Structure 1
Amino acid sequence: MAADMKEKAAKMQENLKKGFQDIQTVAQEGNVKLFVKQFVAVLVVFLLLRYANGKFDDKVRNFNGQVDAIRVQQTSEQEYQANKTKLLSLEPKFPNIESKNEWLLSQILGIFKAANITPQIEGQQTEDTSNSTFVAASLRVNTEMGFTPFAEFLAGIENLDEYIKVTEFSIAKQQEASKLGVNKVSMRFNTIFPKEKIAKGLFKDYDKIIQEQQTQKSSKRKGGKK
Protein backbone atom coordinates (compact mmCIF):
# COMPACT_ATOMS: atom_id res chain seq x y z
CA MET A 1 0.00 0.00 0.00
CA ALA A 2 2.91 2.35 0.75
CA ALA A 3 4.31 1.68 -2.71
CA ASP A 4 0.98 2.64 -4.35
CA MET A 5 0.82 5.91 -2.43
CA LYS A 6 4.38 6.78 -3.46
CA GLU A 7 3.53 6.01 -7.08
CA LYS A 8 0.44 8.22 -7.00
CA ALA A 9 2.38 11.05 -5.40
CA ALA A 10 5.09 10.78 -8.03
CA LYS A 11 2.55 10.92 -10.85
CA MET A 12 0.90 13.98 -9.27
CA GLN A 13 4.23 15.77 -8.99
CA GLU A 14 5.03 14.89 -12.60
CA ASN A 15 1.67 16.18 -13.83
CA LEU A 16 2.06 19.40 -11.89
CA LYS A 17 5.57 19.88 -13.19
CA LYS A 18 4.39 19.26 -16.74
CA GLY A 19 1.53 21.68 -16.26
CA PHE A 20 3.82 24.46 -15.07
CA GLN A 21 6.17 23.74 -17.98
CA ASP A 22 3.26 24.09 -20.43
CA ILE A 23 2.30 27.41 -18.86
CA GLN A 24 5.87 28.62 -19.10
CA THR A 25 6.16 27.51 -22.79
CA VAL A 26 2.93 29.23 -23.76
CA ALA A 27 3.98 32.36 -21.93
CA GLN A 28 7.34 32.43 -23.74
CA GLU A 29 5.57 32.03 -27.07
CA GLY A 30 3.40 35.06 -26.38
CA ASN A 31 0.11 33.14 -26.12
CA VAL A 32 -0.73 34.27 -22.59
CA LYS A 33 -4.15 35.25 -23.91
CA LEU A 34 -5.09 31.59 -23.94
CA PHE A 35 -4.81 31.55 -20.16
CA VAL A 36 -6.31 35.00 -19.84
CA LYS A 37 -9.44 33.82 -21.63
CA GLN A 38 -9.74 30.86 -19.32
CA PHE A 39 -9.17 33.05 -16.29
CA VAL A 40 -11.71 35.58 -17.47
CA ALA A 41 -14.22 32.85 -18.16
CA VAL A 42 -13.76 31.42 -14.66
CA LEU A 43 -13.96 34.91 -13.17
CA VAL A 44 -17.15 35.71 -15.07
CA VAL A 45 -18.75 32.47 -13.98
CA PHE A 46 -17.72 33.16 -10.39
CA LEU A 47 -19.13 36.70 -10.50
CA LEU A 48 -22.33 35.53 -12.15
CA LEU A 49 -22.83 32.91 -9.48
CA ARG A 50 -22.16 35.43 -6.76
CA TYR A 51 -24.47 37.98 -8.40
CA ALA A 52 -27.15 35.36 -8.89
CA ASN A 53 -26.80 34.24 -5.28
CA GLY A 54 -26.97 37.85 -4.13
CA LYS A 55 -30.08 38.47 -6.23
CA PHE A 56 -31.60 35.27 -4.93
CA ASP A 57 -30.88 36.28 -1.35
CA ASP A 58 -32.48 39.66 -2.04
CA LYS A 59 -35.52 37.95 -3.52
CA VAL A 60 -35.76 35.62 -0.55
CA ARG A 61 -35.51 38.55 1.87
CA ASN A 62 -38.05 40.50 -0.16
CA PHE A 63 -40.40 37.53 -0.26
CA ASN A 64 -40.08 36.97 3.48
CA GLY A 65 -40.71 40.65 4.05
CA GLN A 66 -43.85 40.54 1.92
CA VAL A 67 -45.08 37.44 3.73
CA ASP A 68 -44.54 39.15 7.09
CA ALA A 69 -46.32 42.26 5.82
CA ILE A 70 -49.26 40.17 4.63
CA ARG A 71 -49.45 38.42 7.99
CA VAL A 72 -49.45 41.75 9.81
CA GLN A 73 -52.05 43.09 7.42
CA GLN A 74 -54.24 40.03 7.90
CA THR A 75 -53.94 40.37 11.67
CA SER A 76 -54.81 44.05 11.49
CA GLU A 77 -57.69 43.32 9.15
CA GLN A 78 -59.01 40.63 11.49
CA GLU A 79 -58.77 43.01 14.44
CA TYR A 80 -60.46 45.73 12.40
CA GLN A 81 -63.31 43.42 11.37
CA ALA A 82 -63.72 42.17 14.95
CA ASN A 83 -63.90 45.73 16.30
CA LYS A 84 -66.25 46.74 13.49
CA THR A 85 -68.58 43.83 14.24
CA LYS A 86 -68.51 44.61 17.95
CA LEU A 87 -69.24 48.30 17.41
CA LEU A 88 -72.08 47.62 14.95
CA SER A 89 -73.66 45.10 17.31
CA LEU A 90 -73.38 47.35 20.37
CA GLU A 91 -73.94 50.93 19.23
CA PRO A 92 -77.47 50.49 17.80
CA LYS A 93 -78.61 49.29 21.23
CA PHE A 94 -78.04 52.77 22.61
CA PRO A 95 -80.74 55.38 21.96
CA ASN A 96 -80.17 58.54 19.97
CA ILE A 97 -79.49 61.62 22.06
CA GLU A 98 -82.02 63.61 20.05
CA SER A 99 -84.80 61.64 21.75
CA LYS A 100 -83.37 61.62 25.27
CA ASN A 101 -86.31 63.56 26.72
CA GLU A 102 -88.91 60.90 25.91
CA TRP A 103 -87.09 57.68 24.95
CA LEU A 104 -86.52 56.22 28.43
CA LEU A 105 -90.07 56.98 29.61
CA SER A 106 -91.52 55.47 26.44
CA GLN A 107 -89.45 52.30 26.87
CA ILE A 108 -90.42 51.92 30.53
CA LEU A 109 -94.12 52.29 29.76
CA GLY A 110 -93.80 49.68 27.01
CA ILE A 111 -92.02 47.23 29.35
CA PHE A 112 -94.69 47.52 32.04
CA LYS A 113 -97.48 47.25 29.50
CA ALA A 114 -95.98 44.04 28.08
CA ALA A 115 -95.81 42.61 31.63
CA ASN A 116 -99.36 43.78 32.41
CA ILE A 117 -98.11 45.76 35.42
CA THR A 118 -99.14 49.28 36.35
CA PRO A 119 -96.19 51.68 36.87
CA GLN A 120 -96.09 54.83 38.96
CA ILE A 121 -93.48 57.31 37.71
CA GLU A 122 -91.71 59.07 40.56
CA GLY A 123 -90.34 62.51 39.78
CA GLN A 124 -88.64 63.68 36.60
CA GLN A 125 -85.90 62.12 34.53
CA THR A 126 -82.47 63.01 35.90
CA GLU A 127 -79.42 63.38 33.68
CA ASP A 128 -75.68 63.34 34.24
CA THR A 129 -73.76 65.19 31.51
CA SER A 130 -70.34 65.18 33.20
CA ASN A 131 -68.97 62.51 30.85
CA SER A 132 -67.51 63.77 27.59
CA THR A 133 -68.89 60.93 25.45
CA PHE A 134 -72.35 60.16 26.80
CA VAL A 135 -75.30 61.41 28.83
CA ALA A 136 -76.54 59.10 31.59
CA ALA A 137 -80.28 59.32 32.27
CA SER A 138 -82.35 57.69 35.01
CA LEU A 139 -85.96 57.52 36.07
CA ARG A 140 -87.47 56.01 39.23
CA VAL A 141 -90.61 53.90 38.95
CA ASN A 142 -92.76 52.35 41.69
CA THR A 143 -95.14 49.41 41.43
CA GLU A 144 -96.56 46.43 43.30
CA MET A 145 -95.84 42.73 42.62
CA GLY A 146 -94.89 39.47 44.28
CA PHE A 147 -91.34 38.11 44.58
CA THR A 148 -91.57 35.63 41.70
CA PRO A 149 -93.18 38.06 39.22
CA PHE A 150 -90.56 40.65 40.19
CA ALA A 151 -87.70 38.23 39.50
CA GLU A 152 -89.19 37.37 36.11
CA PHE A 153 -89.73 41.05 35.38
CA LEU A 154 -86.06 41.85 36.08
CA ALA A 155 -84.90 38.93 33.94
CA GLY A 156 -86.99 40.23 31.05
CA ILE A 157 -85.38 43.67 31.32
CA GLU A 158 -81.88 42.17 31.37
CA ASN A 159 -82.63 40.30 28.15
CA LEU A 160 -83.79 43.35 26.20
CA ASP A 161 -81.88 44.28 23.08
CA GLU A 162 -82.07 47.95 24.01
CA TYR A 163 -79.66 49.26 26.61
CA ILE A 164 -81.91 49.68 29.65
CA LYS A 165 -80.80 48.63 33.10
CA VAL A 166 -82.33 48.55 36.57
CA THR A 167 -79.44 49.87 38.61
CA GLU A 168 -81.12 49.77 42.02
CA PHE A 169 -84.34 48.58 43.60
CA SER A 170 -86.02 48.17 46.97
CA ILE A 171 -88.76 45.79 48.11
CA ALA A 172 -91.06 46.30 51.06
CA LYS A 173 -93.85 43.99 52.19
CA GLN A 174 -97.34 45.42 52.18
CA GLN A 175 -98.90 45.51 55.61
CA GLU A 176 -102.54 45.41 54.57
CA ALA A 177 -104.28 42.06 54.94
CA SER A 178 -105.82 42.48 51.50
CA LYS A 179 -102.34 42.68 49.94
CA LEU A 180 -100.82 39.59 51.49
CA GLY A 181 -97.87 38.39 49.38
CA VAL A 182 -97.72 41.65 47.49
CA ASN A 183 -94.67 43.92 47.76
CA LYS A 184 -94.13 47.56 47.10
CA VAL A 185 -91.24 47.76 44.63
CA SER A 186 -89.19 50.81 43.74
CA MET A 187 -86.79 50.64 40.78
CA ARG A 188 -84.40 53.06 39.12
CA PHE A 189 -84.13 52.61 35.37
CA ASN A 190 -81.01 53.83 33.62
CA THR A 191 -79.81 54.26 30.08
CA ILE A 192 -76.99 56.01 28.22
CA PHE A 193 -77.28 58.40 25.29
CA PRO A 194 -74.02 58.63 23.32
CA LYS A 195 -73.30 62.26 22.49
CA GLU A 196 -72.12 61.07 19.09
CA LYS A 197 -72.63 57.79 17.28
CA ILE A 198 -69.50 57.14 15.28
CA ALA A 199 -70.31 53.91 13.40
CA LYS A 200 -72.43 55.55 10.71
CA GLY A 201 -69.63 57.94 9.86
CA LEU A 202 -66.97 55.22 9.89
CA PHE A 203 -68.52 52.49 7.78
CA LYS A 204 -69.96 52.96 4.30
CA ASP A 205 -72.05 49.79 4.62
CA TYR A 206 -73.57 50.91 7.94
CA ASP A 207 -77.16 51.18 6.67
CA LYS A 208 -76.95 47.80 4.93
CA ILE A 209 -75.60 46.04 8.04
CA ILE A 210 -78.17 47.64 10.35
CA GLN A 211 -80.95 46.62 7.97
CA GLU A 212 -79.66 43.04 7.99
CA GLN A 213 -79.52 43.07 11.79
CA GLN A 214 -83.10 44.31 12.02
CA THR A 215 -84.26 41.66 9.55
CA GLN A 216 -82.55 38.91 11.55
CA LYS A 217 -84.03 40.26 14.78
CA SER A 218 -87.50 40.34 13.25
CA SER A 219 -87.11 36.77 11.99
CA LYS A 220 -86.05 35.55 15.42
CA ARG A 221 -89.07 37.22 17.05
CA LYS A 222 -91.44 35.62 14.55
CA GLY A 223 -89.79 32.26 15.09
CA GLY A 224 -90.13 32.65 18.85
CA LYS A 225 -93.84 33.42 18.59
CA LYS A 226 -94.42 30.21 16.66
Structure 2
Amino acid sequence: MAPGAGVANDVSLEEPKKMMREDWRKKKELEEQRKLGNAPAEVDEEGEDINPHIPQYISSVPWYIDPSKRPQPEKQEQCSSSGDWYKGGVQEHAVATRYRKGACENCGALRHKKKNCMERPRKAGAKYTGMNIAPDELVQPQLMFDYDGKRDRWNGYDPEEHMKIVEEYSKVDLAKCALKAQKLQEELASGKLEQVNSPKHAWGEEESNSQSERDHSSEDEDKYTDDIDMPGQNFDSKRCITV
Protein backbone atom coordinates (compact mmCIF):
# COMPACT_ATOMS: atom_id res chain seq x y z
CA MET A 1 0.00 0.00 0.00
CA ALA A 2 1.53 3.31 -1.05
CA PRO A 3 1.93 6.02 1.57
CA GLY A 4 -0.87 8.54 1.50
CA ALA A 5 -3.32 6.22 -0.25
CA GLY A 6 -5.52 5.93 2.85
CA VAL A 7 -5.59 9.70 3.23
CA ALA A 8 -6.62 10.09 -0.39
CA ASN A 9 -9.45 7.58 0.07
CA ASP A 10 -10.67 9.45 3.17
CA VAL A 11 -10.65 12.72 1.29
CA SER A 12 -12.56 11.19 -1.59
CA LEU A 13 -15.20 9.90 0.82
CA GLU A 14 -15.66 13.36 2.30
CA GLU A 15 -16.08 15.04 -1.08
CA PRO A 16 -19.73 15.95 -1.86
CA LYS A 17 -21.46 13.89 -4.49
CA LYS A 18 -22.17 15.53 -7.81
CA MET A 19 -25.83 16.34 -8.36
CA MET A 20 -27.45 15.20 -11.60
CA ARG A 21 -29.44 17.56 -13.76
CA GLU A 22 -32.73 15.92 -12.82
CA ASP A 23 -31.95 16.16 -9.09
CA TRP A 24 -30.97 19.79 -9.47
CA ARG A 25 -34.27 20.54 -11.23
CA LYS A 26 -36.26 18.79 -8.48
CA LYS A 27 -34.37 20.73 -5.82
CA LYS A 28 -35.17 24.04 -7.50
CA GLU A 29 -38.84 23.12 -7.83
CA LEU A 30 -38.98 22.20 -4.13
CA GLU A 31 -37.42 25.54 -3.20
CA GLU A 32 -40.03 27.38 -5.25
CA GLN A 33 -42.84 25.42 -3.58
CA ARG A 34 -41.40 26.22 -0.16
CA LYS A 35 -41.26 29.93 -1.02
CA LEU A 36 -44.92 29.79 -2.09
CA GLY A 37 -45.88 27.92 1.09
CA ASN A 38 -47.09 24.77 -0.67
CA ALA A 39 -44.31 22.57 0.81
CA PRO A 40 -43.12 22.31 4.42
CA ALA A 41 -40.07 24.36 5.28
CA GLU A 42 -36.66 22.79 5.70
CA VAL A 43 -35.56 22.02 9.26
CA ASP A 44 -32.10 22.73 10.69
CA GLU A 45 -30.07 20.71 13.19
CA GLU A 46 -31.95 22.14 16.18
CA GLY A 47 -35.36 21.33 14.73
CA GLU A 48 -36.30 24.91 13.79
CA ASP A 49 -37.71 25.91 10.42
CA ILE A 50 -35.37 27.57 7.93
CA ASN A 51 -36.69 30.63 6.15
CA PRO A 52 -36.89 29.65 2.44
CA HIS A 53 -36.42 33.26 1.34
CA ILE A 54 -32.86 33.42 2.73
CA PRO A 55 -30.35 33.29 -0.16
CA GLN A 56 -28.24 30.18 -0.55
CA TYR A 57 -24.94 32.00 -0.06
CA ILE A 58 -26.14 32.98 3.43
CA SER A 59 -27.92 29.80 4.51
CA SER A 60 -25.36 27.27 3.27
CA VAL A 61 -22.02 26.70 4.97
CA PRO A 62 -18.91 27.22 2.80
CA TRP A 63 -17.20 24.05 1.64
CA TYR A 64 -13.93 24.97 3.38
CA ILE A 65 -15.49 25.09 6.88
CA ASP A 66 -15.62 21.83 8.82
CA PRO A 67 -18.94 21.59 10.73
CA SER A 68 -17.24 19.66 13.53
CA LYS A 69 -14.87 22.60 14.19
CA ARG A 70 -17.53 25.25 14.74
CA PRO A 71 -17.18 27.15 18.03
CA GLN A 72 -19.40 25.62 20.66
CA PRO A 73 -21.29 27.94 23.07
CA GLU A 74 -19.65 26.40 26.14
CA LYS A 75 -16.18 26.83 24.63
CA GLN A 76 -16.56 30.48 23.65
CA GLU A 77 -14.92 33.24 25.65
CA GLN A 78 -16.97 34.64 28.50
CA CYS A 79 -16.91 38.42 28.09
CA SER A 80 -17.52 40.90 30.87
CA SER A 81 -20.90 42.54 31.18
CA SER A 82 -21.51 46.11 30.05
CA GLY A 83 -21.77 47.42 33.63
CA ASP A 84 -18.36 46.17 34.77
CA TRP A 85 -15.56 48.72 34.93
CA TYR A 86 -12.24 49.31 36.63
CA LYS A 87 -12.35 50.51 40.23
CA GLY A 88 -10.50 53.52 41.56
CA GLY A 89 -9.08 54.39 44.96
CA VAL A 90 -7.67 52.08 47.57
CA GLN A 91 -8.99 49.00 49.28
CA GLU A 92 -11.47 49.56 52.08
CA HIS A 93 -9.72 47.82 54.94
CA ALA A 94 -7.57 48.76 57.90
CA VAL A 95 -4.08 50.03 57.10
CA ALA A 96 -1.24 47.82 58.27
CA THR A 97 0.48 48.88 61.48
CA ARG A 98 3.85 47.27 60.78
CA TYR A 99 6.04 46.57 57.80
CA ARG A 100 5.34 43.34 55.89
CA LYS A 101 7.84 41.30 53.98
CA GLY A 102 7.81 42.05 50.23
CA ALA A 103 6.16 45.45 50.63
CA CYS A 104 7.49 48.76 49.30
CA GLU A 105 10.52 49.93 51.27
CA ASN A 106 9.45 53.56 50.95
CA CYS A 107 5.72 53.62 51.87
CA GLY A 108 5.13 50.07 53.11
CA ALA A 109 2.26 49.25 50.72
CA LEU A 110 2.03 45.94 48.90
CA ARG A 111 1.94 45.20 45.15
CA HIS A 112 4.68 47.60 44.08
CA LYS A 113 8.38 48.10 44.65
CA LYS A 114 10.37 51.12 45.76
CA LYS A 115 11.35 52.16 42.22
CA ASN A 116 7.65 52.25 41.21
CA CYS A 117 6.42 54.01 44.36
CA MET A 118 4.38 57.18 43.78
CA GLU A 119 4.78 58.45 47.35
CA ARG A 120 7.23 61.18 48.29
CA PRO A 121 10.70 59.67 48.88
CA ARG A 122 11.19 59.45 52.61
CA LYS A 123 14.46 60.03 54.40
CA ALA A 124 13.91 56.81 56.35
CA GLY A 125 11.54 54.41 54.63
CA ALA A 126 8.71 52.49 56.22
CA LYS A 127 10.89 49.38 56.19
CA TYR A 128 13.14 50.88 58.84
CA THR A 129 10.71 53.07 60.81
CA GLY A 130 7.51 50.98 60.57
CA MET A 131 5.42 54.18 60.70
CA ASN A 132 2.97 55.92 58.32
CA ILE A 133 2.42 52.81 56.20
CA ALA A 134 0.36 53.62 53.12
CA PRO A 135 -2.76 51.56 52.26
CA ASP A 136 -2.39 48.74 49.77
CA GLU A 137 -3.10 49.35 46.12
CA LEU A 138 -6.29 48.01 44.62
CA VAL A 139 -5.93 45.04 42.28
CA GLN A 140 -7.84 45.91 39.13
CA PRO A 141 -10.03 43.14 37.68
CA GLN A 142 -9.13 41.56 34.36
CA LEU A 143 -12.01 42.70 32.14
CA MET A 144 -12.61 41.18 28.71
CA PHE A 145 -15.19 43.14 26.73
CA ASP A 146 -16.87 42.13 23.51
CA TYR A 147 -17.22 44.31 20.40
CA ASP A 148 -19.91 46.54 21.92
CA GLY A 149 -18.21 46.78 25.31
CA LYS A 150 -14.95 48.02 23.82
CA ARG A 151 -16.77 50.82 21.99
CA ASP A 152 -19.10 51.92 24.80
CA ARG A 153 -18.06 55.51 25.55
CA TRP A 154 -20.27 55.82 28.63
CA ASN A 155 -19.18 52.67 30.40
CA GLY A 156 -17.82 53.58 33.82
CA TYR A 157 -19.32 57.09 33.77
CA ASP A 158 -20.78 58.33 37.05
CA PRO A 159 -23.84 60.62 36.61
CA GLU A 160 -23.09 62.19 40.00
CA GLU A 161 -20.11 63.96 38.41
CA HIS A 162 -22.49 65.87 36.13
CA MET A 163 -24.62 66.93 39.09
CA LYS A 164 -21.54 68.55 40.64
CA ILE A 165 -21.14 70.68 37.50
CA VAL A 166 -24.83 71.64 37.57
CA GLU A 167 -24.57 72.71 41.21
CA GLU A 168 -21.45 74.76 40.47
CA TYR A 169 -23.16 76.65 37.63
CA SER A 170 -26.28 77.24 39.74
CA LYS A 171 -24.11 78.80 42.46
CA VAL A 172 -22.47 81.05 39.88
CA ASP A 173 -25.90 82.19 38.61
CA LEU A 174 -27.06 82.99 42.14
CA ALA A 175 -23.89 85.00 42.77
CA LYS A 176 -24.44 86.97 39.54
CA CYS A 177 -28.02 87.75 40.51
CA ALA A 178 -26.91 88.91 43.96
CA LEU A 179 -24.23 91.20 42.47
CA LYS A 180 -26.72 92.61 39.97
CA ALA A 181 -29.26 93.36 42.73
CA GLN A 182 -26.58 94.96 44.89
CA LYS A 183 -25.41 97.15 42.01
CA LEU A 184 -29.00 98.21 41.31
CA GLN A 185 -29.53 99.16 44.95
CA GLU A 186 -26.34 101.22 44.95
CA GLU A 187 -27.42 103.09 41.80
CA LEU A 188 -30.83 103.81 43.30
CA ALA A 189 -29.25 105.06 46.52
CA SER A 190 -26.84 107.34 44.66
CA GLY A 191 -29.66 108.85 42.56
CA LYS A 192 -28.46 107.65 39.17
CA LEU A 193 -31.75 105.77 38.62
CA GLU A 194 -35.20 107.10 39.41
CA GLN A 195 -37.59 104.67 41.01
CA VAL A 196 -40.97 104.56 39.21
CA ASN A 197 -44.00 103.83 41.40
CA SER A 198 -46.57 103.42 38.62
CA PRO A 199 -46.39 99.96 36.99
CA LYS A 200 -48.35 101.15 33.94
CA HIS A 201 -45.90 103.95 33.32
CA ALA A 202 -42.97 101.57 33.69
CA TRP A 203 -44.53 99.10 31.27
CA GLY A 204 -45.21 101.79 28.68
CA GLU A 205 -41.71 103.14 29.03
CA GLU A 206 -40.19 99.68 28.54
CA GLU A 207 -42.39 99.05 25.50
CA SER A 208 -41.39 102.36 23.90
CA ASN A 209 -37.72 101.66 24.57
CA SER A 210 -37.94 98.20 22.99
CA GLN A 211 -39.77 99.65 19.97
CA SER A 212 -37.10 102.32 19.47
CA GLU A 213 -34.36 99.70 19.76
CA ARG A 214 -36.03 97.60 17.07
CA ASP A 215 -36.32 100.64 14.77
CA HIS A 216 -32.64 101.50 15.24
CA SER A 217 -31.58 97.92 14.58
CA SER A 218 -33.66 97.72 11.37
CA GLU A 219 -32.19 101.04 10.16
CA ASP A 220 -28.67 99.77 10.84
CA GLU A 221 -29.37 96.56 8.93
CA ASP A 222 -30.68 98.47 5.91
CA LYS A 223 -27.69 100.79 6.01
CA TYR A 224 -25.16 97.95 6.07
CA THR A 225 -26.90 95.81 3.45
CA ASP A 226 -26.50 98.60 0.91
CA ASP A 227 -22.73 98.62 1.38
CA ILE A 228 -22.31 94.86 0.93
CA ASP A 229 -20.74 93.86 -2.38
CA MET A 230 -22.60 91.24 -4.37
CA PRO A 231 -20.65 88.00 -4.83
CA GLY A 232 -19.16 87.51 -8.27
CA GLN A 233 -19.32 91.16 -9.37
CA ASN A 234 -17.94 94.54 -8.43
CA PHE A 235 -20.99 96.57 -7.39
CA ASP A 236 -20.73 100.11 -6.07
CA SER A 237 -23.90 101.02 -4.13
CA LYS A 238 -23.06 104.76 -4.13
CA ARG A 239 -22.61 105.08 -7.89
CA CYS A 240 -25.19 102.43 -8.87
CA ILE A 241 -22.86 101.10 -11.56
CA THR A 242 -22.26 97.41 -12.13
CA VAL A 243 -18.93 96.44 -13.69
Higher helix residue share: 1
TM-score > 0.5, shorter chain as reference = no
TM-score under structure 1 normalisation?
Answer: 0.23
Give the TM-score normalised by structure 2: 0.22
Greater length-normalized contact order (CA 8 Å, ≥ 6 residues apart): 1
Structure having the higher strand fraction is 1
